[in-house]
Amino acid sequence: MKVCVFSSSSEKLAEPYQLAAVELGKLTGSRNYELVYGGSQRGLMGINARAHQAAGGKTIGVLPARFRDAAGGEDQLIRVSDFPERVAKMKELSDCFFCLAGGFGTLFEFSDVLQAKQFNDLSSSLVLINTQGFYDEFDTYLRKTVKQGFAPEDNYKLWYLAKNPQDALDYAINFKPTIMRAKLSPIGLKPARGIK
């Protein structure tokens, strides 16, 4: 199985976030899963990747060209042009998705996968790992979005808020898709009559 981990490349993060990255890496690496990640050796990305390798797993880094100097230590490196291409490649390669604590890049990646699940382009698990309550307010926002009608009422099933890495992995292992809809046409509308 290929597991995708979205996370921060910042090196100024508190110890609990680093420990969660190590724990997740040990769990996935010890099961010989392949790790798909952002390709940086810095911050939580690097911490998680090194822990995964140390536990016996292989890594695939997907790195935008502008960060070419951030790579190092991965088993395979895929270079892409920009962030949208990176997340597209990560979606293509991966069987499930975990979000450690992260910044705007992680938010972009999570949102892209969430929307792909909403439109039935992906049926994989998507998990926020809630270290130190990091995602509490974000989860509240997502649920409010559903509750107030900005997304279908069953869309709260599209993501899972995990207490810790073990909870996240258990969820992913036992995950079964519960929302299946017909895919929309490119603009979500039927062609006008007389147009073929």
The C-alpha atoms of residue 167 and residue 189 are separated, in whole angstroms, by 40
What CATH number corresponds to the domain at position 86? 3.40.50.450
| Burial tier of 188 (Cβ tally within 10 Å: 0-12, 13-18, 19+) | exposed
Residue 138 lies in a domain: yes
The candidate with the shortest Cα–Cα distance to 107, out of 159, 153, 67, is 159
Selection from 190, 7, 39 nearest residue 103 by Cα = 7
Of the chain, the percentage scoring pLDDT greater than 70 comes to: 90
**130: Cα separation from own chain's centroid:** 13
Whole-angstrom Cα distance, residue 134 to residue 193? Answer: 50
Residue 163 has pLDDT above 60, yes or no: yes
Structural domain total, the chain: 1
Please check whether residue 94 lies inside any domain of the structure: yes
CA 46 to chain centre: 16
The confidence band for 70, taking pLDDT boundaries of 50, 70 and 90, is: low
Using the predicted structure, report yes or no on whether residue 186 has a pLDDT greater than 50: no
pLDDT at 72: 76
Q: What is the pLDDT of residue 99?
A: 98
The answer to the question of residue 195 being in a domain is no
Tokens of 3: 């597991």
> Which residue segment(s) compose the domain that 120 sits in?
2-174
Q: Is residue 24 within a helix (H) or strand (E), and if so which, with residue range?
A: helix 15-29
Residue 195, classed as helix, strand or coil, is: coil
61 within domain boundaries: yes
31 within some domain: yes
Confidence of residue 181 (pLDDT cuts 50, 70, 90): low
The answer to whether residue 86 sits within a structural domain is: yes
pLDDT at 187 over 80: no
Nearest to 40 by CA among 13, 17, 80, 73: 73
In-domain check, residue 193: no
Q: What pLDDT, on a 0 to 100 scale, did the predictor assign at position 23?
A: 98
Token reading at 44: 């939580």
Give domain status of residue 180, yes or no.
no
Mean pLDDT of 172-190: 63
The pLDDT tens digits for 34-62 are 999 998 889 999 999 999 999 999 999 99
Could you tell me the pTM of the whole model?
Answer: 0.88
Query: pLDDT exceeding 90 applies to what percent of the chain?
Result: 80
Mean pLDDT of the region 69-77: 80
